Amino acid sequence: MQTELSRKLGVEHAVFGFTPFPAVAAAISRAGGFGVLGAVRYTAPGDLKRDLDWLDAHVGGRPYGLDVVMPAKKVEGVTEAEVEAMIPEAHRQFVRETLARYAVPELAEGEASGWRITGWMEQVARTQLDVAFDYPIRLLANALGSPPADVVARAHERDIRVAALAGSARHARKHQEAGIDIVVAQGYEAGGHTGEIATMVLTPEVVEAVDPLPVLAAGGIGSGQQVAAALALGAQGVWLGSIWLTTTEADLHAPALTRKLLAAGSGDTVRSRALTGKPARQLRTEWTDAWDDPAGPGTLPMPLQGLLVAEAVSRIQKYEVDPLLGTPVGQIVGRMNSERSVQAVLDDLTRGFERAVDRINRIAGRSGQS
Ligand SMILES: Cc1cc2nc3c(=O)[nH]c(=O)nc-3n(C[C@H](O)[C@H](O)[C@H](O)COP(=O)(O)O)c2cc1C
């Protein structure tokens, strides 16, 4: 699974893996892919430094990258406390009532909420970058818009390629104008924040729109046949997020959640604003149903919704409250039916890719191996 881009980056397979877990990122790079660590959950620079130290020591000298979330629309000049004060009391009451209905226990006194995600506030993302630029990262990816010009310039000074996620050809062209090197065309099927265009339609549109920039296809990819399809559509590689959640290296901290993922079908996700205030695909649960119910107060815009539900999500996770327990995940969850190592996932992708190429060769009347 080699392309011009994978050769330039010095990786064996044009498979880029987004993951919030350092152990998964390291395993992806060691297995010949390109591991990218998601930084959004790191609110303390010391924690990111600790995990980058670990990652750097465990990638076996292979390239790896970092993903930050700098929204195009900034929240500037306000403190976290001031942002938090904007949350209406009716919404807080709705959270309390919903948790009470399911008898979700409180966190222990002084226990921090592990899900307090503020990495999408620009000042937090910038502290993450200050840490990350001290490491030999080879790729910096940004979700939710083009990174600011000074960040692109800092990355390029260090010979770091900059990637940005796009859900439409229009967004992709904006990234190109902002000097981005690689566009991740992320379709509607994907886990996490998504647009409304499916990967099959989006990928060739983006490839055409930003030519000659390399494009990675993302969203709904979990087999080698799908990798072959993405490359056939003109992508220079694939960007996978969901598939790693049920690898043995992932640490979801909730065995019940792993069980739910393994049991879920491809129709068991929903694109909901419940987690962050922007539409993000995730497991459909009674929690997402409550937020999406027109009888409820509705969700708040980012970053308010994320701050509002942070503690609740931590409590649901910690106590594994089954009906409410969820995570961002894409429609490919329907194929995630057994726990496997990252290496086993890469091996499976390679085998499936070879079978697809052989099949197409046979259809085209060509003999020979892929
Ligand atoms: C649990 C989870 C968390 C995610 N968080 C982020 C994130 O912080 N930043 C980002 O750029 N993308 C994030 N994504 C999206 C991935 O980068 C990727 O585009 C997506 O997972 C690809 O589609 P797939 O889920 O079908 O593989 C997340 C995806 C998942 C499943």
192 Cα–ligand 1 center, Å:
5
Q: How far apart are CA 341 and CA 244, in angstroms?
A: 9
Q: What are the pLDDT digits (tens) for 314-360?
A: 999 999 999 999 999 999 999 999 999 999 999 999 999 999 999 99
330 Cα–ligand 1 center, Å:
8
Mean pLDDT throughout 228-241? 98
117 Cα–ligand 1 center, Å:
15
Nearest to 19 by CA among 73, 45, 55: 55
92 Cα–ligand 1 center, Å:
28
Cβ–ligand 1 distance for 330 under 6 Å, the answer yes
Q: What are the pLDDT digits (tens) for 266-299?
A: 999 999 999 999 999 999 999 999 999 999 999 9
With the most atoms of ligand 1 within 8 angstroms of its CB, the residue from 15, 16, 18, 28 to mutate is 18
Which parts of 45-151 are beta strand (E)? 64-69, 139-143
Q: Look at domain 4-365 and name its CATH class.
A: alpha beta
Which residues have CB under 8 Å from 273's CB, separation 6+? Answer: 279, 280, 291, 299, 305
Q: How far apart are CA 170 and CA 198, in angstroms?
A: 15
Cβ–ligand 1 distance for 195 under 6 Å, the answer no
Residue 21 has pLDDT above 90, yes or no: yes
Give the CA count within 13 Å in the CB-facing half-sphere of 369. 1
Annotated domain spans of the chain: 4-365
